[in-house]
């Protein structure tokens, strides 16, 4: 298959072809076996060859295209049930994307990719201009000196008409490299101090997260096996070796911790490949955006991404349906524009692993709740150390478009720890209060992403998917009253970069504070939108009741989250508060 590739077809003849395929595949594989003397990778590689087929990760790069007119172009790659898209090019007839995507090629799985090129249009839908279908296995084994292949793009209304050419490359990753990369990825999840090594405590957390009780019971033994040089820490190479050895004997992971898919013990290479791809999704390691079911959907651009978030929020069909959620769209009330909220890939990865699958939440009952608590406490202690102040410039740089230092009350040098910076105060007047003289006008409590609903039912319909959510559950028995039934609900979600102090939305008297202990799940939409997780009714929180003349009683619930579990109030019971007054703040801790 493939339309008009610039290279000659492979010679036919089954035996010769098989041998030729293997030798070419060898050439295309970036073998480094002489650098790694381990047997597992070699045996995996032998397995590929012995099977005469290929199972592994192919790196597909859409380099550029030559079209017959100028426009802003995007390209999509569809393989099986997945579609990925490039960025939109400049206005040109020679669009350059250089977009790469790792694709899983299974022995009996799909290997014919459809590549579609669209002209983009701001006002209406993007138009499909040309397409081609390519057998990736053929591209991989095809002989040739060139680093790229060229394919004709066909007119979708008439396959006889060539409307352009696309230049792409497709290569195969060495299974040993796949294995090592996977070990590095998995290690980074529990590597709290980012030293690319696991202490015994970090190693224990990792084994716990795998959810394999047998392995959890013999963590010390496994640690000793992994720590080959006996230096008391496990590096990425040692972890890779352990995973390979264990995979041969008794796999540490029975299910993929990201998507929850059961891993076949008999198909070790596919297991490794599957895990690698799952762990890579959403981390920003890959250039092409995924999570689309069809190339048409992918071509809808901004508006589709918006609806993708809105309509796929229950994640019923697995986390990959929302794989572009490392960029959440929010509507900026000030500028009246949609903006993308960036989330660190590692955080997205962890959140998905935990919250978006039954198995992930199942892990919660096997010690992961305690793990979140421990991580938060550990992080809190770390953020209170003087060394943590070194992280402030990096943090400011990462969120440079969203943190306005000119609004901050003190200069950066003033903050002696990261936590001090995290709970930074703003200069007086930095946040004007709407209709200050009118107590019948309520204001927003925090710099945040806000959701507002007329009733709890509406919130369940549009946003909160936890099956056990209710106002009663949120407020707890001590402060709940019937007056709150069917009352309006406003959710102020603070992101890490936000000013972390919250203010009083209405003027009145603080009646009481009620502490409700609980977990420290994330409050990110990834968890709030999961039907398996009941963030708002299970997390640690403090409920305060403000008695007002204009709104009756108003309940304000401050909910702690992973890492940011410390809640401090700056007002006391019985105190009169004016709307806009600072009420308290969240900081790092458990």
Partner 1 sequence: STVICVFEKDAIEIDEDLLSNSARSLETLVQVGMKLGVSTRKLSEIKL
Cβ proximity to partner 1, 161 vs 435, nearer residue: 435
CB of 371 to partner 1, least distance (A): 19
Straight-line distance from the first to the last Cα atom of the chain, in angstroms, rounded to the nearest whole number = 57
Does residue number 448 form part of the binding site for partner 1 (CB under 8 A)? yes
Residue that is written with structure tokens 């209709």 in the block = 435
CB of 10 to partner 1, least distance (A): 50
Does residue number 112 form part of the binding site for partner 1 (CB under 8 A)? no
CB of 290 to partner 1, least distance (A): 21
Does residue number 553 form part of the binding site for partner 1 (CB under 8 A)? yes
Cβ proximity to partner 1, 51 vs 310, nearer residue: 310
SS3 at position 395 = helix
**Binder to partner 1 among 75, 141, 389, 474 (CB under 8 A)?**
474
CA distance 178 to 56: 9
DSSP 174: -
Interface positions, 495-514, toward partner 1 (CB under 8 A)? 499-503, 505
Tell me the C-alpha to C-alpha distance, in Å, between residue 388 and each of 92, 130, 565. Answer: 47, 52, 18
Does residue number 488 form part of the binding site for partner 1 (CB under 8 A)? yes
CB of 14 to partner 1, least distance (A): 54
Interface positions, 270-309, toward partner 1 (CB under 8 A)? 306, 309
Q: Fill in the per-residue mask, 320 to 349: x = in contact with partner 1 (CB under 8 A), - = not in contact.
A: --------xxxxxxx----x----------
CA distance 76 to 294: 9
Does residue number 463 form part of the binding site for partner 1 (CB under 8 A)? yes
CA distance 139 to 83: 19
Closest CA to 74 of 62, 94, 89: 89
CB of 352 to partner 1, least distance (A): 18
**Binder to partner 1 among 293, 342, 396, 451 (CB under 8 A)?**
451
Does residue number 523 form part of the binding site for partner 1 (CB under 8 A)? yes
Stretch that binds partner 1, among 94-102, 245-253, 384-392, 480-488 (CB under 8 A): 480-488
Q: With contact defined as beta carbons under 8 Å apart, do 102 and 112 qualify?
A: no
CB of 496 to partner 1, least distance (A): 9
DSSP 317: T
Does residue number 36 form part of the binding site for partner 1 (CB under 8 A)? no
Interface positions, 554-583, toward partner 1 (CB under 8 A)? 554-561, 564, 567, 580
Does residue number 119 form part of the binding site for partner 1 (CB under 8 A)? no
To 10 degrees, what angle do helices 39-51 and 175-190 make? 130
Does residue number 475 form part of the binding site for partner 1 (CB under 8 A)? yes
DSSP 190-258: H-TT-SSEE-HHHHHHHHHHHT-HHHHHTHHHHHHHH-TT-SS-EEHHHHHHHHHHHHHHS-S-SB-TT
Mention every residue, 6+ apart, whose C-beta is less than 8 A from residue 547.
Answer: 508, 509, 511, 553
CB of 389 to partner 1, least distance (A): 21
Stretch that binds partner 1, among 7-15, 183-191, 290-298, 471-479 (CB under 8 A): 471-479
Cβ proximity to partner 1, 95 vs 508, nearer residue: 508
SS3 at position 546 = strand
Stretch that binds partner 1, among 18-26, 175-183, 247-255, 470-478 (CB under 8 A): 470-478
**Binder to partner 1 among 31, 189, 342, 441 (CB under 8 A)?**
441
On the 0-12 / 13-18 / 19+ scale of CB atoms within 10 A, 509 is: middle
Cβ proximity to partner 1, 350 vs 529, nearer residue: 529
For the record, the structure tokens of 100 come out as 């790469």
**Binder to partner 1 among 41, 360, 466, 525 (CB under 8 A)?**
525
**Binder to partner 1 among 131, 167, 415, 586 (CB under 8 A)?**
586
Stretch that binds partner 1, among 111-119, 186-194, 511-519, 551-559 (CB under 8 A): 551-559
Does residue number 403 form part of the binding site for partner 1 (CB under 8 A)? no
CA distance 103 to 140: 12
Q: Convert 19-87 into a string of H (helix), E (strand) and C (coil).
A: HHHHHHHHHHECCCCCCCCCHHHHHHHHHHHHHCCCCEEEEEEEEEEEECCCEEEEEEEEECCEEEECC
Closest CA to 589 of 571, 559, 570, 562: 562
């Amino acid at each position: 298959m493939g339309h008009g590739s610039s290279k000659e077809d492979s010679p036919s003849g089954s035996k010769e072809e098989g041998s030729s395929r293997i030798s070419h595949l060898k050439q295309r594989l970036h073998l480094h076996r002489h650098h790694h003397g381990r047997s597992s990778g070699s045996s995996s590689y032998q397995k590929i060859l012995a099977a005469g087929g290929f199972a592994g990760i192919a790196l597909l790069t859409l380099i550029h295209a030559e079209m017959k007119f100028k426009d802003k172009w995007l390209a999509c790659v569809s393989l099986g049930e997945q579609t990925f898209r490039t960025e939109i090019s400049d206005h040109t007839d020679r669009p350059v994307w250089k977009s790469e995507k790792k694709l899983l090629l299974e022995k009996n799985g799909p290997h014919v990719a459809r590549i579609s090129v669209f002209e983009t249009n701001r006002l209406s839908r993007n138009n499909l201009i040309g397409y081609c279908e390519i057998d990736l296995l053929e591209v991989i084994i095809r002989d040739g000196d060139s680093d790229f292949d060229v394919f004709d793009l066909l007119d979708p209304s008439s396959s006889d008409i060539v409307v352009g050419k696309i230049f792409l490359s497709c290569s195969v990753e060495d299974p040993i490299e796949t294995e090592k990369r996977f070990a590095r990825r998995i290690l980074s999840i529990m590597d709290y101090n980012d030293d690319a090594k696991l202490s015994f405590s970090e190693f224990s957390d990792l084994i716990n997260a795998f959810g394999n009780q047998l392995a959890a019971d013999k963590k010390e033994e496994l640690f000793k096996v992994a720590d080959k040089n006996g230096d008391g820490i496990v590096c990425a190479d040692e972890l890779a070796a352990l995973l390979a050895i264990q995979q041969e004997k008794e796999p540490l992971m029975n299910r993929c911790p990201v998507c929850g898919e059961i891993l076949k013990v008999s198909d070790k290479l596919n297991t490794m490949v599957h895990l690698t791809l799952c762990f890579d999704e959403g981390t920003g390691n890959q250039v092409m955006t995924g999570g689309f079911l069809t190339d048409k959907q992918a071509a809808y651009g901004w508006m589709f991404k918006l609806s993708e978030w809105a309509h796929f929020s229950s994640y019923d069909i697995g986390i990959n349906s929302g794989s572009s959620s490392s960029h959440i769209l929010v509507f900026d009330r000030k500028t009246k524009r949609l903006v993308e909220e960036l989330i660190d890939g590692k955080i997205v990865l962890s959140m998905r692993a935990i919250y978006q699958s039954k198995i992930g939440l199942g892990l919660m009952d096997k010690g992961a709740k305690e793990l979140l608590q421990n991580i938060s406490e550990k992080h809190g202690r770390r953020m209170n150390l003087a060394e943590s102040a070194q992280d402030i410039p990096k943090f400011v740089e990462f969120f440079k478009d969203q943190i306005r230092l000119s609004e901050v009350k003190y200069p950066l040098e003033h903050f002696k720890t990261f936590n001090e910076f995290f709970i930074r105060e703003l200069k007086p007047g930095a946040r004007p209060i709407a209709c200050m003289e009118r107590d019948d006008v309520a204001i927003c409590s925090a710099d945040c992403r806000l959701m507002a609903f007329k009733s709890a039912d509406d919130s369940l319909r549009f946003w909160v998917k936890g099956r056990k959510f209710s106002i009663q559950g949120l407020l707890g028995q001590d402060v709940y009253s019937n007056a709150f039934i069917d009352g309006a609900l406003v959710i102020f979600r603070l992101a890490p970069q936000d000013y972390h102090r919250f203010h009083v939305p209405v003027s009145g008297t603080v009646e009481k504070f009620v502490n409700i202990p609980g977990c420290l799940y994330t409050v990110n939409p990834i968890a709030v939108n999961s039907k398996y997780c009941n963030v708002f009714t299970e997390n640690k929180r403090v409920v305060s009741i403000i008695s007002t003349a204009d709104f009756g009683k108003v309940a304000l619930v401050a909910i702690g989250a992973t890492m940011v579990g410390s809640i401090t109030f700056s007002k006391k019971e019985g105190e009169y508060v004016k709307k806009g007054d600072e009420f308290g703040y969240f900081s790092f801790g458990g």
